[in-house]
Structure 1
């Protein structure tokens, strides 16, 4: 977020511990402040603070740079020298002062309830589950309470986060949708651990009875009931969360209709709900999108609803594979609406996180893929 050097700013080059650097980056983005301004304010606070300040553990420090006003930087260096304090320790203390004075904002519950986001594409292997998990983690890291709903009976999201499917003979989301429940849906929700999330990230696991959902919904005679079952099942949880993310099944059936209807823009609703479509830079993804678009348009026309397109995420991108991929990416961008809100490169970090059943933002918090998830989170919360 640092800007190029200007006449009245000098470049600060130092080293910071990864956790502090990461916390600064996330907090600055969350509260809407440029990193260079956050560091500037932190140095000013450090200069007026009562010394000595608590020492910051700077072991394992990594390169960090930004820009601060020239005169302020000169005075800061002189102050550190006078106190016989290492320059990077003084800067770390300054950043900690800024972080402590800018806590994560308290979330005000929306009158229209949780924002609802479906991550959907009937084509398999485009990264729906990875995007659902990574986006949810980024939102929780920003201070939001987030629920991930594994709506795919294959249960990849559940497995990737280290949990088992719900027992087939027990309670499940599908049973709540079809009037066969035996308890409260909240009893099925599991916390997902990780220091960045505290108690803000949760999962509603999958159950293999989801394979029967379309057949069961098809027996309902009233059209509107077929599409509202998911909403009715999840509504009791809406007040407990800021975001509810639905990892959709790779299908065009009633389950997908339910997910689309669930994220429609409701009357008098504040912005924020809608559909994110993960795709790949290839022709088969484009063909699949045509079918999905037809389903979305048909649902909107038949039921008189509006579904917000939050954008495409081009996943598993590798420009080394040549013209086919680069030209396909250009095609996605040329659509204009929905817009491409992120391009996520095909890197090993996500695969390693899945293999170890560890959230991406815990396994590789400074990775390019983790930063991409944070960028998407900032876009949909702006």
Structure 2
């Protein structure tokens, strides 16, 4: 009986190496050309009713990466916890915030916009006052469209507006979906995070039917991926099976550099510009631009 060769087939090994974490062939997304003019903005809501899946981390680092490619970006903190504001070093007290704009206390959004240490990236901050907005908006006429009216006033000044949503499907999130052209769903590669995606997609469909017929699903972004664990790989495989091409090729791996950058109030591409995590968010920016989901 002849010996069975244990040497891996070279072509098979090469084919496996050419596949990304999502199981699809790796794509090289080109560096986008500089823009000759700016605006009107494409508004993207970063949504997931589960907390801790990377919405704020993605809002900060996607915004900084788009700015690095010459886009003018406005990040809107739409979470009462104010993590986006803190992560970009924005002031949140004794200054106009998104809450003041929602309730009409401040009429001009430009009064609430703060520049950040990233050239081309601005922010509208939030603080705990925003938690009272849902109660305040209950009796407002067309309450689901208030954020859209606010952002319409500054849309011409930016190429992309990113809305960092709170982890819920309440009136604030519905406002963000009504204002948006597209939705980006960060999804932690963990089983319990997977369970809520279908409910979120159903909510997006309802908003499309009733409030915003133009809204699109820009993509599902796998975050906190750990290629060393079978669990991460299985969850990502199930997401791709369920949502197909809606799953972005870019995958954000778990790393301690993200919390370190947050403590420094700095995006990863400034805190650790050569780290693979910084390149992952640059790739995400290029992928969204290639898909037409960003300017």
Normalised by the length of structure 1, the TM-score is: 0.65
Equivalent residue pairs, number:
260
Conserved? CA contact 1:257–1:299, under 8 Å: yes
Conserved? CA contact 1:173–1:233, under 8 Å: no
The whole-number CA distance in structure 1 between the counterparts of 2:76 and 2:134 is 17
Following superposition, which runs of at least 4 residues in structure 1 exceed 3 angstroms of deviation?
none
The whole-number CA distance in structure 1 between the counterparts of 2:114 and 2:52 is 25
Q: 1:143 to 1:301 in 2, by over 3 A?
A: same
Conserved? CA contact 1:177–1:232, under 8 Å: no
2:208 to 281, 300, 308: 300
Q: 1:326 maps to which residue?
A: 233
Normalised by the length of structure 2, the TM-score is: 0.83
Q: 1:124 maps to which residue?
A: 51
Q: 2:67 maps to which residue?
A: 140
1:176 equivalent to 2:101? Answer yes
Query: 1:343: how far off?
Result: 1.1
Query: 1:239: how far off?
Result: 1.3
Query: 1:162: how far off?
Result: 2.1
Query: 1:247: how far off?
Result: 0.6
Query: 1:373: how far off?
Result: 0.8
The whole-number CA distance in structure 2 between the counterparts of 1:301 and 1:332 is 25
Query: 1:116: how far off?
Result: 0.9
Query: 1:166: how far off?
Result: 3.3
1:351 equivalent to 2:276? Answer no
SS in 1 for 2:80: coil
Q: 1:354 to 1:171 in 2, by over 3 A?
A: closer
Query: 1:201: how far off?
Result: 1.2
1:212 equivalent to 2:142? Answer no
Deviating more after overlay: 203-212 vs 131-140 = 203-212
Q: RMSD of aligned C-alpha atoms? A: 1.7
Q: Which runs of 5+ in 2 are unaligned?
A: 1-29, 291-295
Deviating more after overlay: 332-341 vs 143-152 = 332-341
Q: 1:108 maps to which residue?
A: 37
Q: 1:116 to 1:304 in 2, by over 3 A?
A: closer
2:121 to 192, 197, 201: 201
